[in-house]
Each structure stands twice: as C-alpha cells, then as structure tokens.
Amino acid sequence: MAGFGTVGSGLARVLDENRQWITERTGREMVIKTILVRDLAKPRAWPVPQGATLTADPAVLTDDPEIDVLVELMGGIAAPHAIIKRALEAGKHVVTANKALLAEDGYDLYRLAEQQNVGLHHEASVAGGIPIVQTLKESLAGNRIGSLVGILNGTANYILSEMTSNGLDFATALGQAQELGYAEADPTLDIEGHDTAHKLVLLIRLAYGMDYPYAELPVQGIAGIDRMDIEFARELGFRIKLLAQVRDVDGKLEAGVFPTLVKHTFLIARVGGAYNAIRLEGNAVGPVFLHGLGAGSLPTASAVLADLMTVARGAAPHNTGFQRQVPPRADILPPADAESSYYVRAMVPDNPGVLRDLAGAMADHSISIAQAIQKGQHPQGVPLVFMTHAARASAIQGAIAQVQAAGLLLAPPVCYRVLQ
C-alpha cells in the first residue's frame, strides 16, 4: 500500500474488521505486507497491521515478487505515476483512488496494464463510496447514456448546503467546512471545481467511451457565489448546486462543471452536507439515481476494497469498460453553442428605463425571458433577476457584453445555468 493517511488507515481497518466476511466472499485472504510512507516516525490514525512493515522506498513495494497488488493512495501525479508504472511493469495489479492522475496523465498506464494483462482499478476515484465506476462498466454497460449529472465534491456541496439552510456567507461556510475536516487548508481544487472536473472526465470515458480532454472542459467554481443569489434561488423554488454535467446532443458531447439552479423538487436538489449524488439516463434502463458519501476514510476504503475483491476473485481485467484502452477524442459541442435556461442577476441604478434596456439587450440576442423580478434597494444598487428560456451560451455572453458596454451595470453580472 502506497500511502497510509485517511483512506489507507480506513482500508486497514476494514480489512481487519471484515476479514472473515471478505474471505467468505472471495475465497482468499488479503494481507497487507508493506506500506510506503513519507515519514516512518509519524503517528498513525490506525495501527500498522500485524506483520506489515513501513518503508520510505517505493522499490520495496514494486519489486517484491510476493506482492500481488499495489494500492496507491498517495495523491499527486508525478510520484504516483512512477510507482504505478513500475508496479504494472512488474506484473502487479493496481488499485488507485487518484482521479487527477487518471484524468490528466493516465493513458500510458492503461496501455501498460493491457499489455501486462493486469488490472488498473479505480472505483474510489469518483464519488467516494458510491459504486458508479463498476455500475457504468458492468451493470449499465448495455445502455447508451443520454445524460449524466452529478454532485461530485462533498466540500462544495457542504458549503452550498450551509449557505442555503443556515444563511451563512461563503467565507463562514468554508471556514466551518475546514474546521470539520471537509475542506483542506488550501481548498482551491474543491471550490474552484477542478476536483469535480477530474471526476467528470473519468465518468465521460466510462459512460461514452470517449476522451473529453480535461484541459478543454469548461469549469466554473463556487467561490464567487453570493448569499443574495442563494436567497433569490430559494424564492424562485430552486437550490444552487455545483454540478458536473454531460449529455449527448446529436452525437456531440456537451459537458462542464457549473454552479446550477436545480428545482427544489428534484432529488439531486435535496442532497445535503458532504454527500454526493449522480443521476444518469440510459436508453434502456431509464433514469438511475445513486446517492452516498463522497469522501471520508471508510466510504472511500469501501470502494478500494471492492476493487481488491474483484482482483481476488480472479476477474479478467476490464479497466476502461471498453475493448479499447485509449478512447477516441470526443466530438465536442463548442461550449458557446450549448443551450440552457439561465438565471441572470444584474445590479443596476434605480433609474427609469433600466429594465427596458436590459430586456432589450436580451431581445437583441434572441433570448426569451420567462420571468423578471426587480427587488428592493441594496447597498450595491437594485438587483434585477431574469429567468430565461433556453438560450445559447454565446447569446447570453453577447447580451451581457452589450449591457456592460452601455454602462448599465454597477457590478459584474451573475449568470448561472438552470438544470432542465
């Protein structure tokens, strides 16, 4: 095992507590022989398993012929890539939770695993304890997936839930998440949407057998969300969630990570706290909804253990869910051509004709307004809120640029998609 932090400690605990159950399920016993750590003297959250040894030398794991499986739980990209590659070259199966590595720099590892006829398993890389990887690879493999929407980051969901339910501002909710251990000291990956984007890239590969390059995926985080918009969304019957989204639009993939208004009656709008959820639509199965803890010691360890049990049963490697280990590039719908309904809030001076001018700018770009609300005076001006019918992203951007150029706004506008 490479890494003995939160998830590694959880895995050791589950292997110890469920040892007999695992043997009854697989017919084999799992033993941790060696654990790679950075600091041999650091106190551990769970005791080092009996008979296991700690090492700071990766070669002790990768070059030991008695070790069948490498479990990589280190995080990062460069160092884990080198260790996984060496393990695969030695003919060892690999289980990893490293979504960033697989999303940004994993194709040579898939090729190598295929050449060596070994597993490169990653159930724990997406949505913690929710079994979405195996679901897409096996249970729903016969379906064409029309769309997939997910809450894939518990930190962001906790922050938005606290802002919605308890009226906290963003900074206070983030600080609370850090105190509870839901957010890292540097929460950038979570709140800027990049962690969610890594996971979405992997889900697109599993669901569509296509590569949507991570660098080309539109990503918008939650750091700029104002409590004012949380309240307006509630008044309109919506909740704001950070969603990963992909759908097939006439053979092209439209995908991205965005703060999104979701009707309060939708199941995914009710997912609170640090939980994750995924809703997908298959052409045979119809809608499927999965919900569970997206991170944490034991939920993530549960996903790692599922992969280990797959290896223990001697299942043939089926690493990508497709015959090809390196998928073709997706035919991507240009983000500017993506259509959605929108929530738009503009802060404007309390002058006659402003509402007319804003509505006129939208009309100039063929945007149909479903609802317009003018709220009371705020310190920053008067908020005007528009709910639009479906419109292209390029049209929304054009209308916003027009009103900004006309000097109608007192602050940058807020614009969020609405989930249909």
Average pLDDT of the residues in 202-226: 96
Say what the pLDDT of residue 44 is.
Answer: 87
Q: Computed from CA positions of residues 29, 35, 41, 42, in that sequence, does the dihedral angle turn out positive or negative?
A: negative
Say what the pLDDT of residue 351 is.
Answer: 86
Say what the pLDDT of residue 247 is.
Answer: 97
Does residue 57 have a pLDDT over 90? yes
CATH top class, domain 132-294: alpha beta
Domain boundaries, the chain: 6-125, 132-294, 335-418
| CATH number assigned to the domain covering 335-418 | 3.30.70.260
Average pLDDT of the residues in 24-43: 94
Does residue 125 have a pLDDT over 80? yes
Quick: pLDDT tens for 366-378.
999 999 988 777 7
Which one of 92, 99, 137, 199 is the catalytic residue?
199
Max CA distance (Å), the chain:
79
Quick: pLDDT tens for 315-359.
888 899 998 888 999 999 999 999 999 999 999 998 888 889 999
Quick: pLDDT tens for 252-262.
999 999 999 99
Quick: pLDDT tens for 127-165.
989 999 999 999 999 999 999 999 999 999 999 999 999
| CATH number assigned to the domain covering 6-125 | 3.40.50.720
Report d(CA 119, CA 353) in Å as an integer: 65
Say what the pLDDT of residue 63 is.
Answer: 95
Say what the pLDDT of residue 390 is.
Answer: 97
Q: Are 388 and 344 in contact (CB under 8 A)?
A: yes
Q: Which of 258, 327, 330, 290 is nearest to 123 (CA)?
A: 290
Say what the pLDDT of residue 185 is.
Answer: 84
Instruction: Clarify whether 199 is annotated catalytic.
Output: yes
Quick: pLDDT tens for 172-210.
999 999 998 888 889 999 999 999 999 999 999 999 999
